[in-house]
Structure 1
Amino acid sequence: MPLPSRPLRKLGFLTIGLFDEADPDKGHESTLQLIELGEQLGFDSAWVRHRHLQYGISSPVAVLAAATQRTRRIELGTAVTPLGWENPLRLAEDLATVDVLSRGRLNPGISVGPPMFYDRVKDALHPDTSDAEDFGYRRVERLLELVRGKPAAVSGGREGFEVFSDRVQPHSPGLARRMWYGGGSLRSARWAGEHGMNLLTSSVVKAEGPQDGSADFAALQLSHIRAFRAAHRDGEAARVSQGLVVIPTDSASPRQRATYERYAAERLPRTAAPQGPARMMYAPDLVGTSDMIAERLQAHAAFREVDEVAFALPFTFGHEDYEQILTDIAKKLAPALGWQPGT
């Protein structure tokens, strides 16, 4: 099988970290075990999603802090943290702390926009400032400035026995180069490039341009990647990670294969045309043998432009299913795409 023009250099996976409300410990422990398994299999990165007021990880930074103490090599990321829920100064402190604990392995992914269902949560989230909060790009700029070491206070110095810093502490110098923006539109891709960030692009993009039903997911995603790199100071070397849902079945049991195929079939109709007022396009989930998935990825216009991935695990499967999927990705699919563990 011919390799793509950009052999896969960095292999990652993304999980939502589901748990049962009656037993949240089991779900969080499962997530940590999957991250440990990822390191054992040679994955370069593991990413966790943000889910507020749901039964998924609500505090990825806390979970990744735990993961730093159970791993030594694998990079750890968030995909993505919606900044509308965060105070940039406090988040900068948390990110720097976890980056220090991981010895420089944290990859924070962030996004902007009002929190989902904002009218329902605003009185609890921002009780005194809900109508004044700025959920635009300026919120990201504030976070980047603080991570990069811009003063957060008028001055530091000594007060009695205590010594104060004028910038976020701890300061982790390499963290700024590992900040990612989760973008699904041309505007956000360009913005991320102009501000020197890395780009996370997922299985959801905005269908911009003609509204004649001709929108093509791969072509749209490719346009975002190229717009990002055209705006970035690193040009073609600017980092982009793609996050499609892939489910290899090489070692799957008959029950697992049936579950995976049913899951993908139920989600397939939403990929036929842009969805909702925002005209969001969804990529089909890729289910099959590693050779079949590799062939489809090599025919994917946007995949051919990247050499990093964070393949997304499906939302609702069991722990043993995720183990099988990760093992087949690392041992079958990724090598077929040119990846080698530890490169």
Structure 2
Amino acid sequence: MKRIGFLSFGHWTPHPQSAAQSASDVLLQSIDLAVATEELGGDGAYFRVHHFARQLASPFPLLAAVGARTKRIEIGTGVIDMRYENPLYMVEDAGAADLISGGRLQLGISRGSPEQVIEGYGYFGYQPAEGETDADMARRHTAAFLQALEGEGFAEPSPRPMFPNPPGLLRLEPHSEGLRERIWWGAGSRATAEWAAGQGMNLMSSTLLTEDAGVPFHQLQAEQIRLFHDAWTAAGHHREPRTSVSRSIFPLVSEQDHAYFGLERRSADQVGMLEGGRATFGKTYAAEPEELVRQLAQDEAIAAADTLLLTVPNQLGVDYCAHIIEQVLEVAKDPALGWR
């Protein structure tokens, strides 16, 4: 069975037509949408992280709250920008959220996306070392994070501690066993997917790739997934990796659906510039269910991935986003897709 969840950017704006007019609205509605998704039979609630923006930013309080309100679905991020993170403090936060959820955390991390401000990580106290790029710094933070997640002791205990210590070097607490295997890397290219496989991280691929190979987006992304699996095998890891892709999918089953997304019928892949380089952006899927099945059956990357994340328009409200998720889950039952 293909896992199907949602990915929310958590936009909010004080506009009268927005259902999310404040940060409080977004946080509380995100919890409600996760609960609704579980009730509908969906499989995951994932949240984007953007700093200095009217969007979701600090993920761990939200993840912990979702974990406390749900019982079954996976909860995660897509993705956390590691340029901004204190790796050791992040281990503690992630461990706590994972334990609260009963081991359901699926944590997507990455180098990050274009920023709202210039070198925003500097305001958080981080700068690339001499000879490093900001991407290098993100990978350095990631290496420290992954190592600490292993749960091995590394800190010299005080000879006069406030509380008795176990023998040997100390590790970070709380430690959540197995979380290291549930870390995903948001890879924007084929090369970074291969690098992620070498590090033993799952692959999270979005609706854009920072390269243009002259082929449809879904084929380029399917090749990325294949190269990831090849690199994983070559690295000799002893477990099966997971892969996810994100898509904007809107079944047109009501007048409201047609009003919001009817024009997206004409959507197509696009090639543009992102941070000075060419990038390929995947299309939006919007059609009546039968036509949607036909289109989705031709998407090679969705077929190759075990997890599909639906990007939801959260400013349209919890009820409407739940309606989209419910309709996609219905489409997923069609035998022509074989997803459920």
Whether 1:247 and 2:269 are equivalent positions in the alignment is no
Residue 162 of structure 1: CA displacement? Answer: 1.7
Unaligned 5+ segments in structure 2 are 15-20
Q: Distance in 1 between matches of 2:320 and 2:137?
A: 37
Counterpart residue type for residue 130 of structure 1: Q
Residue 27 of structure 1: CA displacement? Answer: 2.2
Where does residue 13 of structure 1 map in the other structure?
A: 6
Where does residue 230 of structure 1 map in the other structure?
A: 230
Where does residue 18 of structure 2 map in the other structure?
A: none
Counterpart residue type for residue 270 of structure 2: A
8 Å CA contact 2:49, 2:56 repeated in 1: yes
Q: Distance in 2 between matches of 1:169 and 1:195?
A: 23
Bigger mean CA offset, 16-25 vs 281-290: 16-25
Identity, in percent, stands at: 28
Where does residue 257 of structure 1 map in the other structure?
A: 258
Unaligned 5+ segments in structure 1 are 1-7
8 Å CA contact 1:113, 1:135 repeated in 2: no
Residue 256 of structure 1: CA displacement? Answer: 3.0
Structure 1's 122 and 218: CA in aligned 2 closer, same or farther, altered over 3 A? closer
Structure 1's 338 and 122: CA in aligned 2 closer, same or farther, altered over 3 A? closer
Superposition CA RMSD, Å: 2.5
Given candidates 325, 332, 335, the residue that maps to 1:334 is 332
Where does residue 56 of structure 2 map in the other structure?
A: 57
Where does residue 143 of structure 1 map in the other structure?
A: 145
Q: Deviations over 1:74-118 (max 9, x none)?
A: 110100001111111111110011001111010100001587255
Q: Tell me the number of residue pairs that the alignment of Structure 1 and Structure 2 aligns.
A: 320
Query: Residue 50 of structure 1 aligns to a residue in which SS?
Result: coil
Bigger mean CA offset, 170-179 vs 301-310: 301-310
Q: Distance in 2 between matches of 1:90 and 1:73?
A: 27
8 Å CA contact 2:252, 2:262 repeated in 1: no
Q: Deviations over 1:150-175 (max 9, x none)?
A: 4342x236634424562111111110
Q: TM-score, normalised by structure 1?
A: 0.85
Where does residue 170 of structure 1 map in the other structure?
A: 174
Where does residue 296 of structure 2 map in the other structure?
A: 297
Q: Distance in 2 between matches of 1:207 and 1:260?
A: 28
Structure 1's 148 and 84: CA in aligned 2 closer, same or farther, altered over 3 A? same
Superposed, 1:1-343 pairs within 5 Å as 8-20=1-13, 23-112=22-111, 116-117=115-116, 119=118, 121-126=120-125, 129-132=126-129, 134-153=136-155, 155-156=156-157, 159-164=160-165, 166-209=170-213, 214-232=214-232, 233=236, 237-250=240-253, 252=254, 254-262=255-263, 268=267, 271-276=269-274, 277-314=276-313, 316-330=315-329, 332-336=330-334, 337-340=337-340
Q: Distance in 1 between matches of 2:311 and 2:323?
A: 14
Q: Distance in 1 between matches of 2:43 and 2:35?
A: 12
